[in-house]
Amino acid sequence: MIRVLRNQAWVLGLVGLLFALALVTKAIQPTYSASGFESLARAALPFAFATAGMAVAILVGGIDLSVASMMAVASVTAAVLMEGAGVGTSIGVVFLVLGIGLAMGAINGALIVVTKVPDIVVTLAMLYVWEGVALLILNAPGGQVAPWLQQLIRGSVLPWVPNALILAVVGVAIVWVPIRRSKLGLAIYAVGSDPLAAYRSGVNIAGTRIAAYAICGLFSAMGGLTLAMSTGIGEPIPGPYLLAAVAAAVLGGVVLGGGIGGLVGPLLAVLILRLVRQDLTLASVDPNVTTIVEGTIMVGVVMLGGILALRSRRS
Amino acid sequence: MSALARIGRFLGDNPVIPLLILLALLVGVLEFMRPGILNERWIGNTVKFAIPLAMLAACQTFTMYTGGIDLSAGVVATVSAFVMATLVPVVGTGPAILLALIPALLIGLVNGIGVAFANVHPLIMSLGTGLIGTGCLQVYQRFVIATGSEVPPFLTWLGTGVTWGFPNSLLIFVPFAALLIYAQSRTGFGRALYAIGSNKEAARLSGVRAWQVYLLLYTLSGLVAGIAGLLYVGLIRAPSLSLVNPLLLPSVAAAVIGGTSIFGGRGSYAGTIVGALILRVLDTLLTLMRMPEGMRVLLFGLIILVVTAIYVRLTDR
- Rounded distance between C-alpha atoms, residue B151 and residue B165, angstroms: 23
Please answer yes or no on whether A292 and B118 come within 8 Å at the CB atom: no
Query: Which of A125, A292, A309 has its CB closest to that of B301?
Result: A125
Q: Taking residues A129-154, what's their average pLDDT?
A: 88
* Exposure of B118 in the CB half-sphere (CA atoms within 13 A): 20
Residue B1: per-residue pLDDT: 57
Q: What is the pLDDT of residue A294?
A: 77
Say yes or no for a CB contact (<8 Å) between B132 and A295: yes
CA B79 to chain A, closest CA, distance in angstroms equals 14
| Contact status, residue B268 vs residue B184, Cβ threshold 8 Å | yes
Decide if A132 and B299 are in contact by the 8 Å CB cutoff: yes
The tally of domains found in chain A comes to 1
* Backbone phi, psi, residue A214, to 5°: -65, -40
At residue B154 the predicted structure's pLDDT band, cuts being 50, 70 and 90, is: confident
What's residue A204's pLDDT? 93
DSSP letters, B64-112, are HHTT---TTHHHHHHHHHHHHHHHHHHH-HHHHHHHHHHHHHHHHHHHH
d(CA B127, CA B316): 30
How confident is the model at residue A5, as a pLDDT?
Answer: 64
Q: Where are the beta strands (DSSP E) in chain A?
A: 156-158, 161-162
Banded model confidence at residue A223, pLDDT cuts 50, 70, 90: very high
H or E element in which residue B264 lies = none
Please check the confidence at residue A217 and state whether its pLDDT lies above 90.
Answer: yes
Query: Distance of CA A149 to CAs A129, A146, A236, Å?
Result: 28, 5, 19
Q: What is the ipTM of this complex?
A: 0.83
**Whether A132 and B249 lie within 8 Å, measured CB to CB:** no
Q: Decide: A187 and A202 in contact? Cβ < 8 Å.
A: no
Phi and psi at residue B247, to the nearest 5°: -85, -10
Q: How many angstroms separate the CA atoms of A250 and A261, rounded? A: 9
Angle at which helices A87-115 and B293-315 pack, to 10 degrees? 30
Domain layout of chain B by residue ranges: 37-315
Predicted local distance difference test score (pLDDT) of residue A184: 93
Domain of A59 in residue numbering reads as 34-296
Q: A305 vs A54, A252, A294, B253, CA distance in Å? A: 20, 11, 17, 30
Q: Which of A255, A285, A294, A302 to mutate to test the interface with B (most CBs of B within 10 A)?
A: A302
Those residues with Cβ within 8 angstroms of residue A41's Cβ, 6 or more apart along the chain or in another chain: A162, A163, A164, A165, A168
Residues on chain B touching A111 (C-beta within 8 angstroms):
305
Mean pLDDT throughout A10-33?
Answer: 85
Distance of alpha carbon A152 from alpha carbon A139, whole angstroms: 27
For chain B, the helix, strand and coil percentages under 3-state DSSP, each to the nearest 5: 80, 0, 20
In this structure, are residues A73 and A100 in contact, taking their beta carbons and an 8 Å threshold?
yes
Do residue A126 and residue B305 have CB atoms under 8 angstroms apart?
yes
Interface probe with A: pick from B113, B282, B297, most Cβ of A within 10 Å: B297
Nearby residues of B89 by Cβ (< 8 Å), 6 or more positions away: B147, B148, B149, B150
**pLDDT tier for residue B288 given thresholds of 50, 70 and 90:** confident
Question: Cβ contact (<8 Å) for B253 and A124?
Answer: yes
- Interface residue A137 vs chain B (CB under 8 A): yes
Q: What is the mean pLDDT of chain A?
A: 87
What's the CA gap between A237 and A235, in Å, rounded?
6
In a domain, A181, yes or no: yes
- Cβ neighbors of A193 (< 8 A, separation 6 or more) are A61, A258, A259, A260
Query: What fold, for B37-315?
Result: ABC transporter involved in vitamin B12 uptake, BtuC (1.10.3470)
Contacts 24+ apart (CB under 8 A), A96-100: A97/A221, A97/A224, A97/A225, A98/A218, A98/A221, A98/A222, A98/A225, A100/A73, A100/A74, A100/A221
Percentage of chain B beyond pLDDT 90 is 22
pLDDT in tens, B221-273: 999 999 999 999 888 888 888 888 888 888 988 998 888 888 778 888 988 99
A212 within domain boundaries: yes
Q: Parallel, antiparallel, or unpaired: how do β-strands B166-167 and B162-163 relate?
A: antiparallel
Q: What's the residue count for chain A?
A: 315
Looking at this protein, which amino acid is placed at residue B29? V
Highest average pLDDT, of A70-74, B84-88, B89-93, B163-167, comes from A70-74
